[in-house]
Amino acid sequence: MFMDMKSRVFCWWCVYLFLILYLGTATGSGMSRRNLEVMKHLNRLNKPAIKSIESPDGDVIDCVLISQQPAFDHPFLKTHTIQMRPNYSPEGIFSETKKVGSSEEIIQMWHMNGRCPEGTIPIRRNREEDVLRASSVKRYGKKKHRSIPRPRPAAPEPDLINQNGHQHAIAYVEGDQYYGAKATINVWDPSIQQPNEFSLSQLWILGGSFASDLNSIEAGWQVSPDLYGDNNTRLFTYWTSDAYQATGCYNLLCSGFIQINNEIAMGASIYPISSYLNNQYDISILVWKDPKEGNWWMQFGNDYVLGYWPAFLFSYLSDSASMIEWGGEVVNSASDGQHTTTQMGSGRFPEEGFGKSSYFRNIQIVDESNNLRTPKDVGIFTEQSSCYDIQLGRNGEWGNYFYYGGPGRNANCP
């Protein structure tokens, strides 16, 4: 195994050196500087794999040694000892099924063709075309800073939609100290009108001000042709410590999040997904702060503790969060002078209910005693309810829940 791994790494470096020599020659004959930057960036992101798995959706999943993942490119993590399990998990985690109305289990599509061995983590391989779709190599894997979820005013600013091009349908709590959040999220495949638009459903762990120094940890599912090159529904995470300006990224596209799990790949396709008046599928996401080490941990479903964001990445979140949000977000580019037809959730309005509209259920927060509990005084916010809307509810089986989403452009949302 050792010799095999050594040989793989040697061959990988041979290929890299060949590319550098080739690109150096090609640059003199017309190869752009950006192409050279792209190849260097791919070399930083795509770590040597001891096994690679081709997914039916076209992805390649590389099984990379835990100690060689992108997180450890960070200068503060060069001597970091990996925490292989949290010291504490929130009290009150209850068992629930991973799906509703189906006997099938949600998996990721690449699982159909293999799994990564112990001691490795699965990383979606980055391709040249992925990076070239970004506005610059430096911005690859980063949100535009204008995608900040805004404070929830009693009445939205008149030009809010035109200011940032992002629209939300969100439930939120604020005014207390929060140490995590949990939700079970219905999974769909909303249609996207323009490649530079996206649709996502997620939870936000927030601290600081929205203007310039926001700390945010985010996790959920998204459809983003610009980031992934397709319309697949994918698991994702995001973090920032400066309001999306320079720090943070999606998934493992920069150093930061430390993954310990060998079964779930950030950015990989979720399968199966819900369909109209048919089987409904959910994912469950929990993010919480380890009260001993101060790291923020993420769990996917009931079984997969994925890893953690080290405490030093954040300023405001080094203690606790001041706001939690759950819900949907889309980009409305208004490229043809009209509202986008990009869908949020299932593309149906919340009043249509189960099997038609998308939902979040069992939304919870983690309190100062490391207990999961039902949030109080939940507010809702949407910039334009005629395009995307949200309706809260509560019952014994789903706890606090809401239906949300919409089709975008329609007769009442021109």
What are the residue boundaries of the structural domains of the chain, listed by start?
53-405
- The structure tokens listed for 316 are 């405001």
- Report whether 162 contacts 339 (CB < 8 A): no
Q: Would you say residue 159 has pLDDT above 70?
A: no
Place of tokens 């209910």: 353
d(CA 34, CA 178): 43
The residue-averaged pLDDT of 104-108 equals 75
Over the stretch 112-133, which tens digit does the pLDDT of each residue have? 999 999 999 999 999 999 999 9
pLDDT tens by residue, 236-288: 999 999 999 999 999 999 999 999 999 999 999 999 999 999 999 999 999 99
What span, in angstroms and rounded, lies between the C-alpha atoms of 262 and 318? 27
Q: Could you say which DSSP state residue 149 is in?
A: P
CA distances from 316 to 206, 215, 276 (A): 9, 6, 41
Distance (Å, whole) CA 154 – CA 167: 16
The residue written with tokens 């009442």 in the block is 412
With a cut of 60, say whether residue 169 has pLDDT above it: yes
Confirm whether pTM is higher than 0.85: yes
DSSP 112: G
Displacement of CA 111 from its chain's centroid (Å)? 19
Q: What CA–CA distances, in Å, run from 96 to 234, 282, 382, 397?
A: 22, 11, 29, 10
- Cα-based angle 7, 61, 65 (whole degrees, multiple of 5): 50
Mean pLDDT of the chain: 88
Give percent of the chain above pLDDT 70.
84
pLDDT band (50, 70, 90) for residue 33 = confident
Residues belonging to the active site: 218, 329
